[in-house]
Structure 1
């Protein structure tokens, strides 16, 4: 990753970039619920912020047939999404200057 000019975020950005695809928790300098931290998978890192996927969306539906199709009926019987609706994903962008702590697995 290359950032124009030097700023204090370069070292943090380079470190966080090593965790793309990994689950981490980032605590922020803020109050209320946002100060309790954000846990998610690091999706992207740039010179200004880190992007986390904090809630993943549901998997695609059965491409072979719908819930009333005679094909692959057993697959649809285990499809809990019909009862609970579809979950859309959630993405969180956290500016580096708002990060208080970054937590990740040791291994």
Structure 2
């Protein structure tokens, strides 16, 4: 288990209070990851925190409507639409967190 209390300050307790909010977390690593990660905090425990860093694209219409007619297999309900992405979740070890930024209010 990571040492998460620094001089009486409990980092994980503060992060748990921010679940559902947008935060930026900076790590002690180098390269692109050292620039930090910004996303919606969805999970925090003594070992890791998880951020949704990119929201996936929703379907453009509900199934069964004229824009997504049923068809024989293989069924491609979104044929012709550009693929944007499924989204992403970033998992950060608590022991590698250098700092985090939250909204003041």
Considering the TM-score relative to the shorter chain, is it more than 0.5? yes
- Extract unaligned runs of 5+ from structure 1: 70-80
If each structure's strand is expressed as a fraction of its own residues, which one has the higher value? 2
Q: Matched residues in 2 for 1:44 and 1:31: separation?
A: 24
Q: What secondary structure is seen at the aligned counterpart in 2 of 1:40?
A: strand
- Extract unaligned runs of 5+ from structure 2: 70-79
If each structure's helix is expressed as a fraction of its own residues, which one has the higher value? 1
Aligned length: 90
Q: TM-score, normalised by structure 1?
A: 0.73
Matches within 5 A, 1:5-84: 8-9=3-4, 11-63=10-62, 64-67=64-67, 82=81, 84=82
Deviations, residues 65-100 of structure 1 (Å, cap 9, x unaligned): 15266xxxxxxxxxxx92x31411111111111001
Q: Matched residues in 2 for 1:66 and 1:19: separation?
A: 42
- The root-mean-square deviation of aligned C-alpha atoms, in Å, is 2.2
Q: TM-score, normalised by structure 2?
A: 0.75
